[in-house]
Structure 1
Amino acid sequence: MSKEDMIKEAVEEAKAKAAKEAEEQAARTDEQSEAEEQTEEAEEMEDASEDDEADASEDAEEPAAEEEAADDDKEKSGKEKKLFGRKNKKDKKDEKIEELTDRLTRQMAEFDNFRKRTEKEKSQMYEIGAKDIIEKILPVVDNFERGLAAVPEEDKANPFAEGMEKIYKQLMTTLEEIGVKPIEAVGNEFNPDYHNAVMHVEDEEFGENTVAEEFQKGYTYRESVVRHSMVKVAN
């Protein structure tokens, strides 16, 4: 074979090899394009599937959310009922506190009533005792008055008579300071609450049912009568 033939044959082989490589490259390109298209289609289908699943999930979540809201309302209502029930039901400590408070209030009221009653009884006992003492002193006052009335006018300047007069005045001042007062009788209308009528006389000089004379002076102690006036009533 000549050199030219060998070159020609080599060129033909090179062309054939290049053509084959070009065909293979085109085939690979077509396969790659087809694969890319399939991949894009698969991705689009997957995205569509995901969108459908999301919509389905949203649709499924709506009833679940409603059920959850209903459960929350029930739970809240139950808590409110429990809370309201606890408000109505008193605790044992609160009941004990109320019981002790009520007992203390009652005891304080009873003690206050007892104190008032005791003070009233003490006051009454004091007045009874004071009236008893005054009744025993009044005869002494009567004797002072009788003795001073029996002193002649010329002897009233006697130191003894003056001393007795001062003692009498001091005694009457002391009685007046503690609430003892003589009852007005002569010339006043007869009052059975203060006067004790032992005699009756018809005398035109006095009005009807008027005290004409006083035999024994009467006294009051704090508006209550210790001794009635012994009097003679006219008309």
Structure 2
Amino acid sequence: MSEHKSQEEMVKDAVEEAKAKVAEEQTEEVQTEENPETVTEEEAETASQEETGGEAKEPAKEGSKKFFGKKNKKDKKDEKIEELTDRLTRQMAEFDNFRKRSEKEKSQMYEIGAKDVIEKILPVVDNFERGLQGLTEEEKADPFVEGVDKIYKQLMTTLEGIGVKPIEAVGQEFDPDFHNAVMHVEDEAFGENTIAEEFQKGYTYRDSVVRHSMVKVAN
């Protein structure tokens, strides 16, 4: 019975000793983490001797302690904040680019639709002009003709108000960006590369050509 008890006591003593040893090691680890830059002179001297083949060197200076310590790391919260800030900045830039691109596409679609409508109205304008140009002075005095002339002028005023303008042609220098040459003539009355006659009037809408002028070019 006494032998059995003595064995139990021995086991208990061994357990207590192991616990004490683990506690001591944990305490040393905590102290090392709290003071990572602290290095004893003996350790510094030993490390220096190992690197230089056993020769003793002067004690390390204060600044050299950092070489043996752990590097300061960023806090995880700061890293997360930087990551989220960078992500937010990128998303805001992408959204701004998307907004500008959408506005540009919207404006282009509007102009394409407007030009398409104007192009369909221009033949009506051509017919008004042909009909009014073929009238005599006596016929122009007719109330019906006067009414038609007023409608034509109102239509042209409305088109001008939305940005539609006729292209100047006769007497101007030929410009392929605005004029379409369908005939060529040699005539000393006109200068070189000058438009002598206009067969069909051209128009622009907000500085872009809706229809080129159909012209005859001299010289």
Instruction: Please tell me the root mean square deviation across aligned C-alpha atoms, in Å.
Output: 2.2
2:102 counterpart of 1:118? yes
Q: How many residues align?
A: 158
Match of 1:39 in 2: none
Q: Is 2:59 aligned against 1:104?
A: no
Matches within 5 A, 1:116-155: 116-155=100-139
The answer for the alignment partner of 1:36 in structure 2 is none
What residue number does 1:213 align with?
Answer: 197
Within the alignment, does 1:178 sit opposite 2:162 as a pair? yes
C-alpha offsets along residues 35-60 of structure 1, whole Å, 9 cap, x if unaligned? Answer: xxxxxxxxxxxxxxxxxxxxxxxxxx
Give TM-score, length-normalised by structure 1. Answer: 0.63
The equivalent residue for 2:16 is: none
Distance 1:163 1:108 in 2: 58
Please report the TM-score for the alignment, with normalisation by the length of structure 2: 0.67
Where has structure 1 moved over 4 Å in runs of 4 or more?
A: none
Which of residues 204, 207, 223 in structure 1 aligns to 2:188? 204
Q: Distance in 2 between matches of 1:173 and 1:100?
A: 57
Greater share of helix: 1
Aligned to 1:28: none
Question: Percent identity, aligned pairs only?
Answer: 84
Q: CA deviation at 1:156?
A: 0.9
Structure 1 match to 2:57: none
Q: Indicate how the Cα distance of structure 1 residues 223 and 211 shifts in structure 2: closer, same or farther if over 3 A, else same.
A: same
- Alpha-carbon distance in structure 2 between the residues aligned to 1:138 and 1:181: 11
In 2, the alpha carbon distance for the partners of 1:117 and 1:85 equals 50
CA pair 138-110 structure 1, distance change in 2 beyond 3 A = same
* Residue 227 of structure 1 pairs with residue 208 of structure 2: no
2:141 is matched with: 157
Supply the distance in 1 between the matched residues of 2:70 and 2:139 (Cα, whole angstroms): 100
1:201 maps to a residue whose letter is V
Q: Distance in 1 between matches of 2:133 and 2:103?
A: 43
Paired position in structure 1 for 2:76: 92
Question: 1-side partners of 2:122 and 2:183: how far apart?
Answer: 22
Q: Give unmatched runs, 5+ long, in structure 2.
A: 1-34, 39-64
